Amino acid sequence: MTRPEKRKLQAKEFGKVAVLFGGRSSERSISLQSGENILNSLLQQGIDAHGIDPDENLAQKLIEGKFQRAFVALHGKEGEDGVVQGLLQLLGIPFTGSGVAASALAMDKARAKLVMNGLRIPTPVFGVAKDIETANEISQKIGFPVSVKPVAEGSSIGVTRVANLAGIAPAFHKAARYGDVIIEKWIDGKDFFVSIIGDTVLPSVEVHASSGFYDYQAKYESHETKYLCPAPISLAKERALRALAYRAFCALGCEGWGRVDLMQDESGKFWVLEVNTIPGMTSHSLVPMSAKAAGMSFDDIVMMILEQTLQAEPATELVGEVAQA
């Protein structure tokens, strides 16, 4: 049986699928792109999929729509931090990706790094600052250059590389708009990204940003960013990189799919920066790029991610009743 034939046979098994994308986070625009791509892929594969842009009436929409499972394509707060996952769990609707606890933990960079430190997973030294005085103390203790960024944001939003004490204040204010601030030792070297689907660790991607910093502009707007996949490293290094990424992914309790962001310093050592539980699925995104290097199409990986929801029992009776106006 060919994979397309298998997909047609399975389409009915999924029932009615809600694709959640958009939301109210600072990453809304990226989520809209990811969600549209995922929704179109599911529809092309015969899945009864429907897009939903979450708001305060999300629970009511899910109940009234009699959705049987959800593909979560939300990035950032209220979508990637365990909030939506908790709602779906309460409603008894199987969903893609990590559960409540792992989503919340991975979103909180500081607590995630504490877990990784405890398990001896190499991650740059850091501190959390709630005011400029503390930020100055932490940065001087760590040593410049440092990375100043929000504790709970993605897509490099609010991130600044700071080379000296004079740069801490403006960088702190920029990051503090999004909540608590984490100050982390800046690793000079190469950017690597490893995507994971289920228990499959895909080929790594090495990224070269023209500015030297893989920020929001380099990720989503620039056409000068260079992506090398598979990464031009030795087989031994590739295996070590993938193994480290998978260790970090599992350490935080993540499941379903995700992406681990790492740096390789000038001595060749790999460092884990963070784990993303709902990576982007845009035209510039790294998960589809890694999958392509492994011989998988975009449709393949979307279906692989959704298929994992079949391992959970779908809701036969949704929790609660919808209030009538």
Q: CB 138: neighbour CB atoms within 10 A?
A: 21
Question: Which structure tokens are listed for 150?
Answer: 């929000």
Cα–Cα distance measured from residue 181 to residue 109, given in angstroms and rounded to the nearest whole number:
10
Q: Could you tell me if 99 and 312 are in contact, meaning their C-beta atoms sit under 8 angstroms apart? A: no
Nearest to 182 by CA among 159, 150, 155: 150
Compute φ and ψ for 8, nearest 5 degrees. Answer: -60, -40
Alpha-carbon separation of residue 182 from 68, 110, 130, 147, 159 (angstroms):
39, 7, 9, 8, 10
List, as one string, the DSSP characters of 224-279. Answer: --EEESS-SS-HHHHHHHHHHHHHHHHHTT--SEEEEEEEEETTS-EEEEEEESS-
Residue 29 is encoded by which pair of tokens?
A: 């625009």
Largest Cα–Cα separation, the chain: 65
User: What is the distance between the alpha carbons of residues 161 and 118, in angstroms, rounded to a whole number?
Assistant: 26
Token couple for 137: 């103390």
Q: Please list the active-site residues.
A: 27, 155, 220, 259, 261, 274, 276, 280
Collapse the DSSP code of 125 into the 3-class scheme (helix H, G, I; strand E, B; otherwise coil) and give the result.
coil
